């Protein structure tokens, strides 16, 4: 896990785990077009002894007590909104380990001897966290909880003895809308509460206007090779801001058309005429911003509790671009990485950062990108529904390996019970253009499947997949849509039902996480409006009445003596009956005095 | 109950009862037609209203305008420069423009074969990802490169590009916006929508490289001319007469009329005076389009997949410009963006009389149902009658108690099975042979009944019971089919029912004058004659009609040919055979 934090450790080579410490850092990374990735990282350590003695200092008491009460060994909570555009933005921040699927995702290792005990503790945990984070985490019930087998591994250092007695549970709420009410408790858990340091930049208006944002909380025990074990609380906020959108002033956020003299036009076009025709080329213009513009606030010094060794702000940008910082800030450059600049800041001074416009290219020259080129991700993943109609559907995941190494990963789906998966239709098809002709069996190496139980638990599907270099794999399966009970539909039944994102954990060539987008599943929905109920009711009545009336009018009724002579079938049956009767009579006669009942029977006929 | 039973039984034996059904049938037809004519009256039609509260049409301020016009003109110049280029060059340029805004672009090749012709092209589309969205829902903005009238949709395409750039700046979108730029208004969207729902024939149509979530609505712009316009024509008919949710039309009418002051119109009824006559004309035009089931614009392909869609077409000379059009689209997209659920509140079955007046299915359905019922009543009547012993003679020749079902069923089955022949030939022949095939078919369709009647007369001595039974079965099938159809495509059921209504009253007769009269009436209402006279009246060449029908079948899955050739034509064939048959001497 620590290797995954290279992103951070690169900047903090000397960061060692000490018993009690706190540090925070903001990484800014301009992305293509007008996107800007801002990664906030806050990390607090507390010794296990202090934690168990309920001696909270940097670790928030509210969370600590919940963890103790619910017997939680390790906790991961994610709030995510929007989607990461891997095609233009490249690799995910923290290799995707600090983001969740759309909505809320929670997984934890709980101290439990049995599954039942784990469920009870899980219920306690979700309900308590629900209150703490103002999120509907209490809706993570049995139908939304799974127990992943291969996808998740503990990140902290657990002694083997405790790990044997823990259970991993994973729950996800894809429909949960993350908003400011979740940010407030998040900020409250920080030692400086968003009043000082980089947290003072976190403004709900900007955070939730971002194209992608993910808030993560990780609690894990860390045992360094020497020294005592500590419990680490790591809080992360990653957001991709749209610079143009963020730069709009707070009091005038409407993107009105700019005055025509502000348009950036391609003047080489023959038809170009100011105030009349303009071919816009503003996308070729590079980014320029100041810290206060894009976050809507200035940064208020540093948090006094933070480790002074760690520079609080870092920018990833080519060394050719000019950045100006506020007075008193001290810029650090790293010889081994010339596209990284970090800033030490004085504690009480406001800090700002100004990225100037890139130099305009000389005519005839291609404008330089002006940003650090995003790294190509190990794997692209996309998932969508196939088919139409209200009865059946299909799922298709398109997984592309753009690199030169074979990628091995675990593909995990947690599906709602009303989506009945036909596992026999699961197939993996490799793109026809690729030279390799692997069969389905070679692509999907292992399947772990736990079928759904109606109204009790959802489907859990984990696949170990490996994709050869430069190949695309189409993973498809079909499913059937269940019909819910009348009362099981939510008030917005026609919206559809959210299906949680698939989680992809790569194992080779490097460990990282990818989550697909969530999906909207339409189920057959009854028409809840009154006229249709009336129509159905009257139609039934008419059908019943018509049946009776039609019978009376059309059926031919005749007296028994007028009945037509019996058909052949009747004759044959009558003959058989006669034979039987004869036999019986013979038997009765043979038996002697018991002939009477037989005769009686005959008479009855 | 027993008393009721005995009354019913005695009533059933009353010979007068048997005289009633033909009159009931005629009455049904008359009522059905009158019912339809009453619909435009104020008492029977209703004013439209927006049923889905989330739409809030016209409640937002639209900002599209100002310097966006310069950009619009810039893009229009680009479109003009591409006018003479081929599909792929056009798409290369459109792709580069769209990618410039940060829109994800995909392309899709498709080929359709119909009537010996190849319809192929490449769709280009962009997905403007909702800034904070999660790719679960999407709305579509369509501008075909060629408008419905095969002109260069220069303002439409330029407007879509400008709007895409403008929409990109807003962060309020809750749904992805898909910008679809097919090469033509007919086949391109169909290929795209099919592939989006994975219902495409993968041999001829490529899958989509990029996808978004469930489609919630679509809006097409058909705006080929340059001059300022007076009103917006809303085209809403989908394939097979399916219609978009009425709320969508209401919202656009509301936004265009209430907010922008642009008049809206439906069914090409410019200058609608809201008189009875205009209303009736609008309704009949709507019924004609619905009955044909032929797609009327790029939006039509979306509707079978339950994606509500319309095409906006500016018409007339006036003072509104392309920016006003852009604001209408902006306002509509803002409304669609508000939707929390798929459009489901308002009506899917309606007839529009005016942009703001409609009748719903409950009100208009009885008229088609009555027409269908007339056939069923007659069928039941004939069945009962065929079971009655002959009134006049009753000796050796009289069929023994019961009905001889084999030969009538055989005739009906034969007629229905040979109906596969026209269905097959009209949908598989090439354009060059189609008019000839139609001519040959028309002739043979007229000759066939005579041949049948001759065959019947020579092979099998037909009794009147035979005719009663064939007619009964044939009308039963017709009645049941039309009653079912009327819930799916009311207009088609009504039109076929009306045109087939003479079939109820024909019967074999000895009187030569009556026979000739009936035969001529039937020939005049035969499917081939009706089709060719309709083509002649509307001034369209027969070959065009046949080509369009074939295209409809092969590309859009239009089922009108099935109704015409496999429901109406066999019924007519049996009716004509009955008329021409010499009545037996019994």
**Which of A257, A501, A536 has the most B C-beta neighbours within 10 Å, making it the best mutation to test the interface with B?**
A257
Band (pLDDT 50/70/90 cuts) for residue A87 is: confident
Backbone angles phi, psi at A234, to 5 degrees: -115, 125
In this structure, are A190 and A329 located in the same domain? Answer: yes
Q: pLDDT above 70 covers what percent of chain B? A: 96
In the stretch 314-343 of chain B, residues with CB closer than 8 A to chain A read 340-342
Co-location of A199 and A341 in the same domain: yes
Is residue A370 a part of any domain in this protein?
A: no
User: What's the burial of B334, exposed, middle or buried (CB within 10 Å: 0-12/13-18/19+)?
Assistant: buried
Highest mean pLDDT among A483-492, B280-289, B499-508: B280-289
Q: Does B206 touch chain A (CB under 8 A)?
A: no
What's residue A601's pLDDT? Answer: 40
Cβ of A251 under 8 Å from any chain B Cβ? no
State how far the Cα of A411 lies from the Cα of A444, in Å rounded to an integer: 10
Residue A116, pLDDT above cutoff 60: yes
What is the pLDDT, as a whole number, of residue B101?
Answer: 84
Identify whether residues A544 and A568 lie together within a single domain: no
Domain boundary among A355, A389, A413: A355
Domain count, chain A: 4
Judged against a pLDDT cut of 60, whether residue A15 lies above it is answered with no
Is A232 in the same domain as A133?
yes
- Could you give the CA distance from residue A479 to residue A459 in angstroms, rounded to a whole number? 11
Closest Cα in chain B, distance from residue A448 (Å):
27
Pair (A306, A402) in one structural domain? no
Please indicate whether, in this complex, the C-beta atoms of A283 and B344 are within 8 angstroms of each other: no
Range of weakest confidence among A120-129, A285-294, A438-447, A482-491: A438-447
Region A487-498 average pLDDT = 86
pLDDT tens profile A333-362? 888 887 888 888 887 888 888 888 877 655
Nearest to A316 by CA among A90, A84, A7: A7
Domain B67-275+294-341 superfamily per CATH: Zn peptidases (3.40.630.10)
The pLDDT score that the predictor gives to residue A593 is 47
- Across the interface, whether the CB atoms of B344 and A265 are under 8 A apart is answered no
Residue with tokens 């066999």: B570
The reported pLDDT for the residue numbered A590 is 59
Looking at the structure, tell me whether residues A472 and A577 fall in a common domain: no
Task: Provide the pLDDT for residue A439.
Answer: 57
CB contact under 8 A, A257 and B135: no
Neighbouring CB atoms inside 10 A of A309's CB total 12
Is A176 part of the contact surface with chain B (CB cutoff 8 Å)?
no
Concatenated DSSP letters of A284-326: GS---EEHHHHHSS-EES--TTS-TTS-SEEEE--TTS-EEE-
Given a cut of 50, whether residue A577 has pLDDT beyond it is yes
Q: How confident is the model at residue B453 (pLDDT cuts 50, 70, 90)?
A: confident
Q: What integer pLDDT is reported at residue A438 of this predicted model?
A: 54
Enter the tokens of residue B306.
Answer: 């339950």
Residue-wise pLDDT for B34-53, tens only, equals 999 999 999 999 999 998 88
Residue A599 has pLDDT above 60, yes or no: no
Query: Cis link prior to A509 (omega < 30° from 0)?
Result: yes
How many angstroms separate the Cα of B103 from the Cα of each of A369, B98, B126? 18, 6, 6
CA dihedral of residues A488, A494, A499, A500 (deg, nearest 10)? -90
Interface test with A, best of B53, B134, B197 (most A CBs within 10 A): B134
Q: Which residue in A314, A301, A313, A298 sits closest to A352, CA to CA? A: A298
Token pair 């209703």 is found at: B46
Domain that holds residue A87: 2-250+263-355
pLDDT at A246 over 60: yes
Region of poorest pLDDT, from A111-115, A266-270, A594-598, B349-353:
A594-598
- Where residue B102 falls (left for φ over 0; alpha for ψ -120 to 50; beta otherwise) is left
pLDDT recorded at residue B189: 94
Identity of the residue in A257, A386, A494 whose CB atom sits nearest the CB atom of B342: A494
Question: Given 3-state DSSP classes, what are the helix, strand and coil percentages for chain B, each rounded to the nearest 5?
Answer: 55, 15, 30
CB of B93 less than 8 A from some CB of A: no
Of residues A244, A277, A531, nearest to B73 (C-beta): A277
Average the pLDDT over A83-111 and give the result. 90
Q: What is the mean pLDDT of residues B527-536?
A: 92
Query: What pairs with residue B415 in β-bridges?
Result: none
Number of H helices, E strands in chain B: 20, 11
Could you tell me if B347 lies within 8 Å of chain A, comparing CB atoms? no
What CATH number corresponds to the domain at position A417? 2.60.40.740
Would you tell me which residues 27-66 of chain A have a C-beta closer than 8 angstroms to some C-beta of chain B?
33-34
Which one of A157-161, A417-421, A565-569 scores highest in mean pLDDT? A417-421
DSSP letter assigned to residue A504:
E
Q: Does residue A372 lie in a domain region?
A: no
Sort out which chain B residues have CB atoms less than 8 A from A477's CB and list them.
none
Residues of A in contact with B242 (CB under 8 A): none
Look at A257 and B214 and tell me if their CB atoms are within 8 Å.
no
Task: Specify the pLDDT at position B584.
Answer: 58
> Position of tokens 């899955």?
B557
DSSP helix/strand/coil, A340: strand
Q: Are residues A97 and A242 in the same domain?
A: yes
Q: Which of A465-481 are b and which e, b meaning 16 or more Cβ less than 10 Å from the residue's Cβ?
A: bbbbeebbbbbbbbbeb
| pLDDT one-digit tens code per residue, B438-447 | 999 999 998 9
Q: Quick one: angle between helices B527-538 and B434-459, nearest 10? A: 150
Listed in order, the ranges of chain B carrying CATH 3.40.630.10 are 67-275+294-341
Q: For the residues B468-483, what does the mean pLDDT come to?
A: 93
Residue A371 lies in a domain: no
Mean pLDDT of B290-308: 92
Looking at the DSSP bridge assignments, the partners of residue A346 are none
Confidence of residue A592 (pLDDT cuts 50, 70, 90): low
- State whether B132 and A394 contact (CB < 8 Å): no
Closest by alpha carbon to B332, among B260, B230, B236, B241?
A: B260
Task: Give me the residues of A, 186-245, that contact B with CB < 8 A.
Answer: 208-211, 242, 244-245
Whether residue B386 contacts residue B468, with contact meaning beta carbons closer than 8 Å, is answered with yes
Least confident of A101-105, B132-136, B144-148: B132-136
Query: Which chain B residues contact residue A255 at CB under 8 A?
Result: 63, 166, 169-170
In the prediction, which pLDDT does A10 show? Answer: 42
ipTM of the complex: 0.83
- Who's near A242: CB < 8 A, 6+ residues apart? A34, A35, A36, A209, A210, A211, B131, B171
Mean pLDDT of chain B: 89
pLDDT at residue A600 in the model: 39
- The conformation of residue B191, written as its DSSP 8-state character, comes to H
The confidence band for A587, taking pLDDT boundaries of 50, 70 and 90, is low
Cβ(B422)–Cβ(B565) below 8 Å: yes
Alpha-carbon gap, residue A423 to A477, rounded angstroms: 7
Alpha-carbon torsion (B11, B13, B15, B17), positive or negative? positive
Which DSSP category does A273 fall into? Answer: B
Spatial CA neighbour of B502 closest among B29, B19, B35, B21: B29
Predicted TM-score (pTM) of this structure: 0.87
In total, the C-beta contacts within 8 angstroms joining chain A to chain B are 144
Quick one: pLDDT band at residue B509, thresholds 50, 70, 90?
confident
Residues A517 and A597 in one domain: no
DSSP A534-588: HHHHHHHHHHHHHHHHHHHHHS----GGGSPPPPHHHHHHHHHHHHHHHHHHHHH
Mutate which of A209, A212, A275, A277 to disrupt the B interface (most B C-beta within 10 Å)? A277
Which SS3 state, helix, strand or coil, does residue A457 take?
strand
Structure-block tokens of residue B315: 């018409």
Biggest alpha carbon distance in chain B?
96
Dihedral over alpha carbons A172, A177, A178, A179 (to 10 degrees): -160
Say whether pLDDT at A433 is over 80.
no
Q: Taking CB atoms and an 8 Å limit, are A387 and B197 in contact across chains?
A: yes
**Nearest residue to A517 (alpha-carbon basis) of A382, A348, A345:** A382
Identify which of A177, A105, A141 has the alpha carbon closest to the alpha carbon of residue A417.
Answer: A141
* Contact criterion met (CB below 8 Å) for B130 and A211: no
HSE (side-chain half, CA atoms, 13 Å) at A4: 18
User: Who among B67, B104, B170 is closest to A259 (CB)?
Assistant: B67
Question: Residue A33 and residue B102: Cβ atoms within 8 Å?
Answer: yes
Q: Which DSSP category does B254 fall into?
A: I
**Is B168 in the A-facing interface, judged by CB distances under 8 Å?**
no
- The Cα B178–Cα B207 span in angstroms is 16
Cβ–Cβ under 8 Å, residues B76 and B400: no
Question: What are the b/e assignments for A421-434, b being 16+ CB within 10 Å?
Answer: beeeebebebeeeb
Distance CA B214, CA B207 (A): 16
Q: What is the pLDDT of residues A523-557, one digit of tens each?
A: 888 877 776 678 778 888 888 888 888 888 888 77
CA–CA separation, B250 and B52 (whole Å): 10
B7 and A CB contact within 8 Å = no
pLDDT tier at A365, thresholds 50, 70, 90: low
Higher-confidence residue: B3 or A382?
A382
A83 shares a domain with A232 = yes
Q: Smallest Cβ distance to A211: which of B63, B65, B132?
A: B132
Q: Let me know whether A410 and A512 are in one domain.
A: yes
Instruction: Print burial letters for B80-90: b (CB count within 10 Å at least 16), e (below 16).
Output: eebeeeebeeb
Q: What are phi and psi of B297, to 5 degrees?
A: -175, 180
- Please report which confidence band the pLDDT of residue A2 belongs to, taking 50, 70 and 90 as the band edges: very low
Q: Do residue A548 and residue A488 come from a single domain?
A: no
Tokens of B147: 């408008």
Nearest to B528 by CA among B452, B449, B439, B450: B439
Say how far apart CA B320 and CA A296 lie, in whole Å.
40
Q: Are residue A548 and residue A592 in the same domain, yes or no?
A: no
């Amino acid at each position: 896990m620590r290797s995954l934090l290279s992103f951070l450790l690169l900047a903090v080579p000397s960061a060692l785990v000490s018993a009690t410490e706190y540090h925070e850092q903001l990484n800014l990374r301009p992305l293509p077009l007008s996107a800007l990735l801002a990664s906030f990282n806050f990390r607090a350590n507390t010794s296990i002894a202090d934690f168990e003695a309920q001696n909270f200092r940097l670790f928030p008491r509210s969370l600590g007590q919940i963890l103790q009460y619910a017997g939680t060994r390790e906790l991961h909570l994610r709030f995510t909104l929007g989607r990461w555009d891997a095609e233009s933005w490249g690799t995910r921040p923290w290799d995707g380990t600090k983001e969740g699927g759309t909505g809320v995702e929670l997984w934890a290792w709980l101290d439990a001897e049995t599954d039942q005990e784990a469920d009870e503790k899980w219920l306690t945990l979700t309900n308590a966290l629900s209150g703490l984070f103002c999120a509907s985490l209490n809706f993570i019930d049995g139908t939304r909880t799974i127990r992943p087998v291969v996808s998740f591994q503990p990140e902290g250092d657990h002694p083997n003895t405790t790990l044997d007695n823990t259970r991993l549970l994973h729950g996800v709420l894809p429909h949960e809308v993350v908003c400011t009410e979740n940010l407030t408790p998040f900020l409250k858990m920080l030692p400086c509460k968003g009043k000082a340091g980089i947290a003072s930049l976190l403004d709900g208006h900007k955070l939730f206007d971002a194209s992608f944002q993910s808030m993560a909380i990780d609690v894990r025990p860390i045992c360094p090779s020497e020294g005592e074990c500590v419990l680490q609380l790591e809080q992360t906020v990653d957001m991709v801001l749209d610079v143009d959108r963020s730069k709009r002033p707070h009091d005038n956020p409407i993107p009105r058309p700019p005055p025509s003299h502000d348009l950036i036009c391609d003047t080489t076009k023959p038809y170009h005429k100011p105030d009349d025709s303009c071919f816009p080329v503003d996308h070729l213009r590079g980014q320029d911003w100041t810290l206060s513009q894009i976050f809507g606030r200035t940064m208020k010094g540093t948090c006094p509790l933070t480790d002074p060794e760690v520079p609080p702000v870092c920018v990833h940008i080519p060394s050719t671009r000019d950045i100006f910082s506020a007075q008193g800030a001290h810029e650090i450059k790293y010889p081994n990485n010339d596209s990284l600049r970090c800033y030490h800041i004085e504690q009480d001074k406001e800090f700002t950062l100004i990225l100037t416009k890139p130099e305009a290219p000389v005519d005839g020259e291609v404008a330089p990108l002006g940003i650090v080129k995003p790294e190509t991700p190990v794997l692209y993943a996309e998932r969508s529904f196939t088919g139409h109609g209200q009865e059946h559907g299909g799922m298709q995941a398109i997984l592309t390996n753009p690199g030169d190494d074979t990628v091995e990963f675990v593909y995990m789906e947690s599906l709602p019970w009303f989506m009945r998966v036909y596992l026999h239709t699961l197939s993996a098809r490799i793109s026809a253009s690729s030279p390799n002709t692997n069969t389905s069996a070679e692509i999907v190496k292992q399947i772990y499947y736990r079928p759904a139980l109606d109204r009790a638990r959802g489907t859990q599907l984990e696949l170990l997949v490996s994709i050869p270099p430069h190949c695309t794999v189409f993973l498809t399966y079909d499913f059937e849509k269940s019909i819910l009970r009348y009362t099981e539909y939510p008030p917005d039944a026609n919206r559809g039902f959210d299906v949680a994102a698939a989680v992809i954990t790569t194992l080779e060539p490097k460990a990282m996480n990818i989550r697909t987008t969530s999906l909207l599943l339409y189920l057959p929905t009854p028409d809840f409006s009154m006229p249709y109920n009336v129509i159905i009711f009257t139609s039934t009545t008419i059908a019943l009445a018509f049946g009776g009336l039609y019978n009376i009018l059309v059926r031919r009724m005749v007296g028994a003596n007028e009945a037509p002579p019996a058909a052949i079938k009747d004759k044959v049956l009558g003959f058989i009956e006669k034979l039987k009767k004869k036999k019986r009579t013979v038997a009765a006669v043979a038996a002697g005095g018991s002939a009477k009942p037989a005769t009686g029977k005959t008479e009855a006929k | 109950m027993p008393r009721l039973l005995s009354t019913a039984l005695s009533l059933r034996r009353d010979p007068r009862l048997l005289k009633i059904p033909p009159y009931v049938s005629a009455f049904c037809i008359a009522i059905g037609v009158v019912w339809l004519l009453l619909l435009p009256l104020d008492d029977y039609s209703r004013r439209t209203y927006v049923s889905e509260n989330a739409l809030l049409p016209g409640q937002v301020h639209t900002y599209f305008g100002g310097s966006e016009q310069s950009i619009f003109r810039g893009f229009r110049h680009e479109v003009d420069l591409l006018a003479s280029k081929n599909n792929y060059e056009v798409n290369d340029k459109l792709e580069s423009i769209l990618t410039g805004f940060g829109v994800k672009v995909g392309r899709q090749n498709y080929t359709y074969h119909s009537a010996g012709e190849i319809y192929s092209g490449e769709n280009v589309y962009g997905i403007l990802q909702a800034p904070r969205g999660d790719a679960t829902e999407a709305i579509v903005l369509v501008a075909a490169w060629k408008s419905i009238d095969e002109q260069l949709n220069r303002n439409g395409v330029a407007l879509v590009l400008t709007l895409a750039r403008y929409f990109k700046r807003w962060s309020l979108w809750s749904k992805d916006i898909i910008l679809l730029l097919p090469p033509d208004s007919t086949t391109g969207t169909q290929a795209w929508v099919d592939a989006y729902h994975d219902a495409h024939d993968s041999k001829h149509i490529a899958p989509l490289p990029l996808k978004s979530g469930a489609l919630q609505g679509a809006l097409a712009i058909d705006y080929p001319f340059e001059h300022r316009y007076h009103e917006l024509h809303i085209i809403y008919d989908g394939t097979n007469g399916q219609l978009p949710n009425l709320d969508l039309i209401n919202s656009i009418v509301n936004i265009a009329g209430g907010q922008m002051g642009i008049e809206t119109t439906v069914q090409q009824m410019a200058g609608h005076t809201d008189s009875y006559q205009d209303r009736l004309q609008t309704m009949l035009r709507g019924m004609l389009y619905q009955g044909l089931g032929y797609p009327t614009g790029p939006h039509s392909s979306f509707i079978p997949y339950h994606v509500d869609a319309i095409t906006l077409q500016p018409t007339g000379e006036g003072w509104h410009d392309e920016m006003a059009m852009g604001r209408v689209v902006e306002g509509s997209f803002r409304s669609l963006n508000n939707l929390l659920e798929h459009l489901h509140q308002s009506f899917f079955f309606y007839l529009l009389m005016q942009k703001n007046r409609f009748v719903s299915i409950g009100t208009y359905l009885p008229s088609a149902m009555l027409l269908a019922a007339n056939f069923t009543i007659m069928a039941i009547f004939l069945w009962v009658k065929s079971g009655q012993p002959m009134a006049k003679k009753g000796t050796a020749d009289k069929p023994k108690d019961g009905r001889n079902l084999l030969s009538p069923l055989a005739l009906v089955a034969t007629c229905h099975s040979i109906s596969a022949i026209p269905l097959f030939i009209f949908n598989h022949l090439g354009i060059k042979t189609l008019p000839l095939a139609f001519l040959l078919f028309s002739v043979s369709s007229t000759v066939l009944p005579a041949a049948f009647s001759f065959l019947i007369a020579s092979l099998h001595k037909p009794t009147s019971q035979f005719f009663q039974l064939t007619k009964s079965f044939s009308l039963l099938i017709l009645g049941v089919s039309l009653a079912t159809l009327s819930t799916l495509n009311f207009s088609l059921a009504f039109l076929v029912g009306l045109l087939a209504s003479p079939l109820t009253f024909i019967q074999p007769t000895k009187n030569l004058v009556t026979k000739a009269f009936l035969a001529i009436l039937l020939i005049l209402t035969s499917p081939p004659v009706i089709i060719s006279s309709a083509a002649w009246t509307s001034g369209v060449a027969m070959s065009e009609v046949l080509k369009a029908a074939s295209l409809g079948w092969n590309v859009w899955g239009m089922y009108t040919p099935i109704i015409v050739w496999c429901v109406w034509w066999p019924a007519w064939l049996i009716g004509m055979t009955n008329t021409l048959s010499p009545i037996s001497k019994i």
